[in-house]
A and B are shown apart, each in its own frame.
Chain A
Amino acid sequence: MVDGLPVSNTEFLNPDDIETTTVLKDAAAASIYGARAANGVVVYTTKQGKRGKRKTEMTVNISSGVTDPNVGGALEILSPQDQARYTHIAYENDAAVSGDPVDYRHPQYGSNAIATLPDYLYADGVSGASASKVNLAQIQSNYENDPDNTFLIKPNLAGTNWYKEITRIAPISRFSVGFDGGTDNGRFYSGISGQNQSGILLENEFVRYTARFNSEWDIAPWLSIGENFQATYRSVTGGFGGNGGIGGANSESVILSAIRMPSIIPVYDEFGSFASTKAAGFGNARNPVRVLKNDNGDDKAYAVGGTGNIYVLLKPVDGLTIRSSLGGTYSNSHYNSYSYKYLGDSEPQASNGYSEGSNYFFNWTFTNTASYDKLFGKHRVKALAGIEALNTGVGRSINGSGINPFSTDLDFQSLSVVQSPVVNSSQFKGVNFYSLFGKLDYSFNDKYYITGVLRRDGSSRFGENNRYGVFPAVSGAWRVIAESFMQDQDVVSDLKFRAGWGQMGNSNNVDPNNQYSLYASDRGNTFYQTLGQSSGTSEGFAASRIGNPDAKWETSTTLNIGFDASFFNNKLEFIFDWWQKDTEDLLYQLPLPGVTGNYASAPSVNIASMSNKGVDFEIIGRGNFTEDFSFEARVTAAFLTNKIEALAPGLDFFDGPSVRDIVATRNAVGHSLSSFYGYNVTGYFNSQAELDASVDVVRDDAGVPVLNQAGETTVALDDNGDPIDAQAGQGLGRFKYEDVNGDGRITADDRKFLGSPVPDFAGGLTLNFKYKKLEFETYWYTSIGNEIWNQTKWYTDFYGVFEGSAKGPAAFNSWTPELGNNAQVPRWESASNFSTNGVGNSWYVEDGSYLRLQRLSFSYDFRGDLTDKLGLTKLKIGLSANNIWTYTNYSGIDPGVGGGADTNFGIDIGNYPVGPQYMINFEIGI
């Protein structure tokens, strides 16, 4: 909520415009914000100015700094020499498995046992060429005739650090000016700001300009009119993912390319063209510098919008306030995206591409409330009644793409000049909500408090049978400190017990069309060439959604009990909350069984339930060492358990998506969301004897072992008379999985739960020291008890994954008979199967606990003689550093892995490492 308007993100806000930020936890406090608040509410209030005859104050804030990409913290990859050496070791291991002579077949490293590096990785058609066989004059002339398709690549013997090549030290700066003023019958705040931020990846730029004007004026003693309004311009160049890059992490991302690209390949070839995997033997990664500079560098998206509200306040009688507010957001955005033909990758990009699109978006909220606040002796009564209607957003979007415009000149390209243009557009009407609500606060003598909330929400997401839901909440508090028996002591300075219970409805995760059965027409999935045509097609339809007109509100019931206590004149404070949130009738999109067809979207049905329980506490200690030297320490801690209580009758689980055929997560009843699931590695096959013992026995169709006349099982044999392995693909130095069900062979039934990405404990520590005008602050964060699925190891730690692509130093500790179970990774070999990199297993799961020094800052406040002399009201200089130090046993780049809650939460697929950021900040008040 920003100034009373529901918003889905706050990226548009200028931090310097924000007055207060409040996170609502109590059941009754949150429920007044209604159905859209079920996932929690953060209330932002922007600066409002103050009434009173006074001078208008101007505040200037200038922040500037840099983000360091933390090249030293990036994943290590092998040097060119080690990569070559370990390629040959892999060939030797392959030969040991097959029994054939060693075949040193890599096109670059020579055919002798000692691997050598070639003079040229690629010389116009020949990979791994020696200088004596390369006709440079011929290649030069070929280049002049056909520069797109002629490459001459020398090895980079020093090794290219690809992560370093795609990143930079990225500057960030923000400038804002705020004016804060008021008169006896009005107030205003106005602020303008500009922010320029470069991403640590090349070519990524973010720009935001904002202008805000908030004001409120008294027209008559009983009538005030006010407004909050902000206009925003944002632009993103080279756009790569949201959320600081984490949103862009996937298996084809540039970060991952930087991990997969061998260090021997230079960034540029001898002609200055980008070098890449056209040189044979290095897998299929794309040169990530080329992707960033060529394909992303010209991409630009911008949005212009306004958001705000206008309101009327009526005070007809003492204590009664009627407020009517109409607010909304409008935005318009546009993007262009270019990609360029490049033939130097092993899987080349054969065309120039261009795409463009735009959209508009509009939402509104109309809120009317009447509140009454009156003190009757020791009884204080506050009553509020309200009615609210809102639309979450209507809009349209249009986008198109095509290939090979005649010229790639940026001034020339548009959708009108591309080949094979495809244009798509869509419209959406959003969801309407209509709510009635009332709230009653009663307190007696500032000692006993009770609050009741009742609301009725209606949503267009639901059919007419179940459109409305009624949700009550109550909370109470007892301020013990105000009791007479607490008066004659000086130990306890405040003590208050609190408890709340409330229900809240949620419909946020439901498609607006959930109640309707629909048919759609879709070029890729419902069109067919019934005329047998070779160009063009005929339109068809298919059921695209199965409706559930009976879906109703999902209800979460929150119970919270806590206390606030402070001691020794507020030198020590405790805030404690125990809470439980049970969500019933959880709207869950039950996957349809394959037999009913899977093209149509399944409806959300009220079927699942989930529970979250936790304890939050905060301890604050403050004090003075001397008169000038004070400190404050604040510890916040949260213990959380999350559990899926039920999914659907007959359905106990559903799996997350697969990344390169590895399925990492399962959402199952009795476990937390996105729990890791797979085979449990008990070690490696360390000896031939161990392999020989791992054989399957003869079984009947049901899998039950068949006993011979002596009552013994017999070894199962294949068509050639060889014993059948108990574990598919088993071999020396390969993973050995736990036979969970003990049936003597490894099957899909032997998978088990391997950990959870949900931390058991998360906490923060803020330490603040103040000496005269100098202030020092640190913030530490820790997450304990969560696991991470380190999917990046799949790329770097198996020789057989994209053979020839960059590998990590894990190779040095790959399995040998001597290392046995102490090996870090399986045997270094080409094999790629169930027992190596083919399935998800516990080897990918690592402890993700970490401790991080997130912030360190100094500031000096010059207020006093100096500011008086300069005629300033404020002068403050601050220095800060973020993400400076992390302690973790996690082997990946960064233990702070994000991801969607029920899909890829906790899976590390090549994210940004979090780099330190250094800032300097000036605050000047006039």
Chain B
Amino acid sequence: MKTNKNSKKLAVAMVALLALGVSCSDEFLEIAPTGSLADAQVSTSEGLDGLLIGAYSMINGKLNVPNERGGAPNHWLVGSILGGDANKGTDPGDGATLATFQRFQADPTFAEVNVLWQSRYEGVSRCNTVLSTVAKSSESLPAEKVTEVSAQARMLRGHFYFDLKKNFNNIVVFDETVLPTDIVLIANDGDAWALIEADFQYAYDNLPETTDAGRVNKWAAASYMAKAKLYQKKYAEAKTWFDDVIANGVACNGEKYALLDDYSKVFNAAFDNHAEAIMDVESSNETGSVNNSNWFDDLNYPYLTGNEGPGDCCGFFQPSFELANSFRTGADGLPLLDKSYNLPANEVKNDMDIASTEPFTPDAGPLDPRIDFSIGRRDIPYLGWKPHQVKLG
């Protein structure tokens, strides 16, 4: 039958098509990933530069996880609030867990604790990625490139471990030679100081004196080494390092370390990367992401200032009386290092419970003038915004 013959031809064609499908299926089941890079691309000299910048970017502590502000690089929670310089601020129910840090009631289930741990180890991990990638491709890279990249990565790794050691004490210590699968088997009793000192020493020996403003230089390593010795109570060694930094240290731009003549310039973006800057957390605008713009302080503005004030929001992180009092000086203008500033006689006058409609005269006693760069006091100009006012509404 004619039709049958035709259909047989078709059937044969179809079987052939199926067979073709079988033979090319392995290739069909391989789909290359989109929008990302593979090992080969980041192992080049330019790729390593990018990985290193990735390690630097963890200096600001940003990790996209809940309660990420616990990882803030300025430690406003685990430093200032825990230490008593500041209160949680805002409504009692808003971010109530932050107040538990101040009361020493924070427990390890709190996300703020976890995020600090995670973001610093993310930093360690990125440094280790740079170092292991350098090790793998060291033969194809110029020797000076290997040293330049390794020295910065080790300096940063020392920085992240220092922060972990400081905040957690018992930490897991490993370098770039340990496989990720083995890291989880290491106990949290590592000798962090040995690794931190070795990293700072290597950085000190190999980093240049002058470099891009956002990077680390030789003297940042020396300063950090001195601080590491100090934390270990090795005071004599610390002094040797500090003396070296004071005598010879220069900022990234080659300027000798010095105090600025005008205190207000320290926190003013127009005078960025100045002679007081040893190692910065860099921030910037117009980067396409708010993460690069001091993201961690986004809620830490005076409470509901109105839109003429900064932030005009939530009012977390409010200065404590203890902080204000500590600006009290003696008649000689020197700080009261014996903490007598908290005595009733020395307390800085405050306007708590005095309505904004009632008159208030600011403290008239001797104060370190830097108080008004740290704390907004009623009727006194605050950081160039406007006189600080209590405003109901």
Pair from one complex: yes
Contacts of A832 in B (CB 8 A): 91-93, 96, 99
A516 touches B33 (CB 8 A): yes
Contacts known (A531-B214, A540-B51, A728-B100); A347 close to B288, Cβ less than 8 A: no
Chain B nearest Cβ from A535, distance in angstroms: 5
| A747 on the B face (CB < 8 A) | yes
Contacting pair B53 A527 (CB below 8 A): yes
- Asked if A422 contacts B283 (CB within 8 A), the reply is no
Q: Which of B110-167 contact A (CB under 8 A)?
A: 111, 114, 117-118, 121-122, 124-126, 129
Contact A521 B64 (CB under 8 A): no
Given B91, B121, B124, B285, which contacts A534 in the complex, CB threshold below 8 Å?
B285
In the complex the two chains form, what is the Cα distance from A803 to B52 in whole Å? 46
Given A347-B313, A597-B124, A729-B105, the answer on whether A661 and B289 have CB atoms closer than 8 Å is: no
Contact A528 B93 (CB under 8 A): no
In the complex, A484 has a CB within 8 A of chain B: no
Residue of B nearest to A520 (CB): B36
Q: Does B284 contact A (CB under 8 A)?
A: yes
Q: Once the chains are docked, how many angstroms separate the CA of A661 from the CA of B111?
A: 8
Q: Is the CB of B51 within 8 A of A748?
A: no
A613 within 8 A of B: no
Which of A122-130, A575-583, A859-867, A869-877 lies at the interface with chain B?
A122-130
Q: Which chain A residue lies CB-closest to B50?
A: A541
Q: Which residue of B3, B50, B108 contacts A521 across the interface (Cβ within 8 Å)?
A: B50
Q: Determine if B258 is an interface residue (Cβ-Cβ < 8 Å).
A: no
Q: Is B259 an interface residue (CB 8 A)?
A: no
B334 at the A interface (CB under 8 A): no
| A317-B37 contact given A460-B29, A524-B292, A596-B184, CB 8 Å threshold | no
Question: Residue B37 contacts which of A521, A534, A536 (CB distance < 8 angstroms)?
Answer: A521
Indicate if A768 sits at the interface (CB-CB under 8 A).
no
Closest B residue to A123 by CB, please name it. B393
Chain A interface, DSSP helix/strand/loop, else mixed: loop
- Least Cβ–Cβ distance between A583 and chain B, in angstroms: 23
Asked whether A517 and B39 contact (CB < 8 A) given A512-B31, A597-B124, A661-B97, the answer is yes
Nearest-neighbor residue (CB-CB) of A278 within chain B: B393
Are B184 and A593 in contact (CB-based, < 8 A)? Answer: yes
User: Could you say which of A125, A431, A837 contacts B96, with CB atoms under 8 Å apart?
Assistant: A837
Q: Is B351 an interface residue (CB 8 A)?
A: no
Residues on B with C-beta less than 8 A from A223 are: 7
Q: A122-B393, A542-B54 are in contact. Are A657 and B66 (CB under 8 A)?
A: yes
Q: Which residues of A contact B14 (CB under 8 A)?
A: 314, 322, 324, 368
Q: Does B361 contact A (CB under 8 A)?
A: no
Contact (Cβ within 8 A) A540 B21 = no
Residues of B within 8 A of A529 (CB): 214, 282-284, 287, 292
Chain A: minimal CB distance from B322 (Å): 15
**Which one of B29, B47, B54, B67 lies within 8 Å of A526 (CB-CB)?**
B54
Chain A residues within 8 Å of B125, by CB: 543, 596-597, 599
Please name the residue on chain B nearest to A425 by beta carbon: B35
Indicate if the CB atoms of B287 and A543 lie closer than 8 Å.
no
Complex contact A127–B17 (CB within 8 A): no
A432 interface neighbour in B31, B286, B288, Cβ under 8 Å:
B31
Count the B residues whose beta carbon is within 8 Å of the partner chain — how many? 103
Given contacts A458-B29, A524-B289, contact A531 B99 (CB under 8 A): no
**In the bound complex, what is the Cα–Cα distance between A516 and B39 (angstroms)?**
10
Closest to B269 in A: A534
B99, A833: Cβ atoms under 8 Å?
Answer: yes
Name which of B55-63, B197-205, B241-249 contacts chain A. B55-63
Contact present for A530 and B312 (CB under 8 Å): no
Query: Which residues of chain A have C-beta atoms less than 8 A from B36's C-beta?
Result: 513, 516, 518-520, 544-545
Q: How many Å lie between the Cα of A520 and that of B53 in the bound state?
A: 12
Q: Are B47 and A541 in contact (CB under 8 A)?
A: yes
Chain B 1-15 per-residue mask, 1 if CB under 8 angstroms from chain A, else 0: 001101110110010
Q: Flag whether B323 is at the interface (Cβ < 8 A).
A: no
Q: Which residues of A contact B314 (CB under 8 A)?
A: 284, 347
Q: Which residues from chain A contact B393 at a C-beta distance below 8 Å? A: 107, 122, 125-128, 278-280
A512 to B33 Cα, complex, angstroms: 8
Nearest Cβ on chain B to A44's Cβ, whole angstroms: 27
Write out the residue numbers on chain B whose beta carbons fall within 8 Å of the beta carbon of A541.
37, 42, 47, 50-51, 53-54
Residue A853, interface by CB 8 Å: no
Whether A220 is near chain B, meaning CB under 8 Å from some CB there, is yes
A525 at interface (Cβ–Cβ under 8 A)? Answer: yes
Q: Are B29 and A467 in contact (CB under 8 A)?
A: yes
B272 touches A (CB below 8 Å) = yes
Q: How far is the CA of A657 from the CA of B97 in the complex (A)?
A: 16
Q: Which chain B residues border A350 with CB–CB below 8 Å? A: 307, 312
Task: Determine if B4 and A597 form an interchain contact, defined as CB atoms under 8 angstroms apart.
Answer: no
- Give A430-455 as 1s and 0s: 1 = Cβ < 8 Å from B's Cβ atoms: 11101010000000000000000000
- B346 interface hit (Cβ, 8 Å): no
CA distance A368 to B33 in the complex (A): 29
Q: A389-B28, A595-B184 are in contact. Are A426 and B35 (CB under 8 A)?
A: yes
Tell me whether A594 and B118 are in contact (CB under 8 A).
yes
Interface presence of B213 (CB below 8 A): yes
Residues of B close to A535: CB separation below 8 A? 284-286
Cβ contact within 8 Å between B286 and A536: yes
Instruction: Choose among A221, A543, A658, A831 the residue that contacts B92 (Cβ–Cβ < 8 A).
Output: A831
The answer to the question of A115 belonging to the interface, with a C-beta cut-off of 8 Å to chain B, is no
Flag whether A682 is at the interface (Cβ < 8 A): no
B284 touching A543, Cβ below 8 Å: no
Interface readout for A779-822 with B: 1 if CB under 8 Å, 0 if not?
00000000000000000001011111000000000000000000
Pairwise interchain contact A434-B8, C-beta atoms closer than 8 A = no
Q: Which residue of chain B lies nearest to A428 when distances are taken between CB atoms in the complex? A: B34
Chain B residues with CB under 8 Å of A387's CB are 18, 21-22
Most buried by B among A127, A537, A831: A537
Q: Does A459 contact B (CB under 8 A)?
A: yes
Is A379 located at the chain interface by the 8 A CB criterion?
Answer: no
Q: Quick one: CB contact mask for A492-519 with B, threshold 8 Å, 1 for yes?
A: 0000000000000000000011001111
Complex Cα–Cα for A149 and B288 (A): 29
Query: How far, in Å, is A328 (CB) from chain B's closest CB?
Result: 16
Residue in contact with B7 in the complex, picked from A107, A222, A729, CB distance below 8 Å: A222
Partner of B284, one of A422, A519, A533, A804: A533
Q: Does B380 contact A (CB under 8 A)?
A: no
What mask results when residues 336 to 369 of chain A are scored 1 for a CB within 8 Å of chain B, else 0? 0000000100111010000000000000000010
A-B contact pairs, 23 of them (CB 8 A): A107-B392, A126-B392, A128-B393, A314-B10, A314-B11, A513-B33, A519-B37, A523-B291, A524-B290, A525-B291, A530-B215, A532-B282, A533-B282, A540-B51, A541-B37, A596-B121, A597-B125, A598-B63, A801-B93, A830-B92, A831-B92, A832-B91, A833-B100
With A434-B28, A524-B289 already in contact, 13 other A-B pairs whose C-beta atoms are closer than 8 Å: A315-B7, A324-B14, A464-B26, A517-B38, A519-B41, A529-B284, A530-B53, A530-B282, A533-B282, A538-B214, A540-B50, A540-B56, A599-B126
Closest 7 CB pairs of A and B: A532-B213, A540-B53, A597-B125, A524-B289, A127-B393, A316-B7, A801-B93
Give the interface of B toward A (CB within 8 A): 3-4, 6-8, 10-11, 14, 17-18, 21-22, 25-26, 28-39, 41-42, 47, 50-57, 59-60, 62-67, 91-97, 99-100, 103, 105, 107-109, 111, 114, 117-118, 121-122, 124-126, 129, 172, 174, 180, 183-184, 186, 212-215, 252, 269, 272-273, 280, 282-292, 304, 307, 312-314, 391-393
Residues of chain A at the chain B interface (Cβ within 8 Å) = 107, 122, 125-128, 149, 220-223, 278-280, 283-284, 314-317, 322, 324, 343, 346-348, 350, 368, 387, 389, 420, 422, 426-432, 434, 436, 458-460, 464, 467, 512-513, 516-521, 523-546, 592-599, 657-658, 661, 663, 728-729, 747-748, 798, 800-804, 830-834, 837-838
